[in-house]
C-alpha cells in the first residue's frame, strides 16, 4: 500500500511515517519544508495520485499566532484542506484527517475556526476518518505547546488563574490509533482522540516542581476534555499517563 503523509516532517508526521514503514507500507512525505505546498494543485494532485491512502496532517497550529495572522491560517488549514479533499474525492482515495479539540469552540481563535472549516470539508467525502486530537505531547513536540514550555521555563508561566483544564495524550498512543485507522472498520469515524482525564493547567505545572508565575489571561479555551466513547469501540488499549512521562524525563 502506498501512503502519502502531508506535513510529514512535522511533530505527528515524524512519528507516523516510521510507524507506517515498520508495518511494511511505502510512505512518502509531502511537506512545505521540501517546497511541497498543499495550495499547489498540480503538485498536490500528482502526489495524491501516487497514493492509496492520504494522511492529511499539514496545518498551522499556533493559536496565538493565528490571532495575529488569521488569513495565513485560513489559507493553509481551510483552503489547503479543501484542496486535499477535492483531489481525494476525484481520485477516490481514503483520507485520514487530524483535526483538533479546538473545533468545539470555533470562535475561540482563527486557528480553531480554520480547523472547523477543514472538518466540514472532510465530512463530505468517503471513505474518510476524522480524528479530533486533544493535547498531544511527547518527544519532538512543538516548542510553543504547553508541556514543551513547562519543560524549559523556570519559572513556569501560567496565563490566567491556572484553572483552565486540558486533556493530554501521549504521541505514541496517538500514532497507534492513526495506524489502526487504515483498517476499513474505521471508515466514516468522527471522534475525539484523548484520554478522557481532565486536569487543571496548574496541576500539570506543579508536576514539574519548579517556581510558577502568573500572567494576564490570554484568549483560550477554559475547559477541554475528550469524549472517547466512540474511540473505545475501536481502540481498547490503555493510555500512557502524563505524570509518569514527566517523571521519566
Domains of the chain (ranges plus CATH)? 2-137+169-196+228-239 (3.40.50.720)
Which 3 state secondary structure label does DSSP give 58? coil
pLDDT value for 104: 95
Grid coordinates representing 243 are 505524570
Per-position b or e across 9-24, b if 16+ CB within 10 A of its CB = bbbbbbbbbeebeeee
- Total residue length of the chain: 249
pLDDT value for 135: 96
Residue that has been written with the C-alpha cell 508526521 in this structure: 13
Select from 115, 109, 130, 133 the least CA-distant residue to 221. Answer: 109
d(C-alpha 19, C-alpha 3), whole Å: 12
pLDDT value for 125: 78
pLDDT value for 126: 78
Rg of the chain over Cα atoms, rounded to whole angstroms, equals 18
d(C-alpha 122, C-alpha 128), whole Å: 7
| pTM for this model (two decimals) | 0.95
Is-contact 115 103, C-beta < 8 A? yes
- Kindly give the parts of the chain with pLDDT less than 70: none
pLDDT tens digits, 51-64? 999 999 999 999 99
Identify whether 101 is preceded by a cis peptide bond (ω within 30 of 0). no
Axis crossing angle, helix 41-50 with helix 80-91, rounded to the nearest 10: 40
pLDDT value for 123: 87
d(C-alpha 92, C-alpha 117), whole Å: 21
pLDDT value for 175: 98
pLDDT tens digits, 197-234? 999 999 999 999 999 999 999 888 899 999 999 999 99
d(C-alpha 161, C-alpha 89), whole Å: 46
Backbone angles phi, psi at 10, to 5 degrees: -85, -175
Amino acid at each position: 500500500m502506498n501512503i502519502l503523509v502531508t506535513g510529514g516532517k512535522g511533530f505527528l508526521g515524524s512519528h507516523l511515517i516510521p510507524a507506517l514503514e515498520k508495518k511494511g507500507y511505502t510512505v512518502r512525505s509531502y511537506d512545505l519544508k521540501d517546497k511541497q505546498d498543499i495550495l499547489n494543485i498540480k503538485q498536490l494532485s500528482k502526489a495524491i495520485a501516487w497514493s492509496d491512502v492520504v494522511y492529511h496532517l499539514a496545518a498551522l497550529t499556533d493559536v496565538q499566532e493565528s490571532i495575529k495572522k488569521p488569513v495565513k491560517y485560513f489559507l493553509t488549514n481551510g483552503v489547503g484542506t479543501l484542496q486535499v479533499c477535492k483531489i481525494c474525492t476525484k481520485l477516490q482515495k481514503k483520507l485520514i484527517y487530524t483535526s483538533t479539540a479546538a473545533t468545539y469552540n470555533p470562535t475561540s481563535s482563527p486557528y480553531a475556526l480554520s480547523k472547523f472549516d477543514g472538518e466540514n470539508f472532510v465530512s463530505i467525502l468517503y471513505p474518510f476518518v476524522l480524528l479530533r486530537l486533544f493535547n498531544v505531547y511527547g518527544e519532538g513536540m512543538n516548542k510553543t505547546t504547553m508541556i514543551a514550555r513547562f519543560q524549559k521555563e523556570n519559572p513556569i508561566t501560567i496565563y490566567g488563574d491556572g484553572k483552565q483544564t486540558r486533556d493530554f495524550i501521549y504521541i505514541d498512543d496517538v500514532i497507534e490509533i492513526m495506524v489502526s485507522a487504515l483498517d476499513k472498520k474505521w471508515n466514516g469515524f468522527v471522534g475525539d482522540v484523548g484520554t478522557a482525564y481532565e486536569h487543571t493547567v496548574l496541576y500539570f505545572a506543579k508536576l514539574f516542581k519548579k517556581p510558577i508565575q502568573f500572567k494576564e489571561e490570554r484568549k483560550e479555551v477554559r475547559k477541554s476534555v475528550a469524549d472517547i466513547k466512540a474511540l473505545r469501540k475501536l481502540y481498547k488499549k490503555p493510555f500512557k499517563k502524563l505524570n509518569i512521562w514527566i517523571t521519566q524525563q
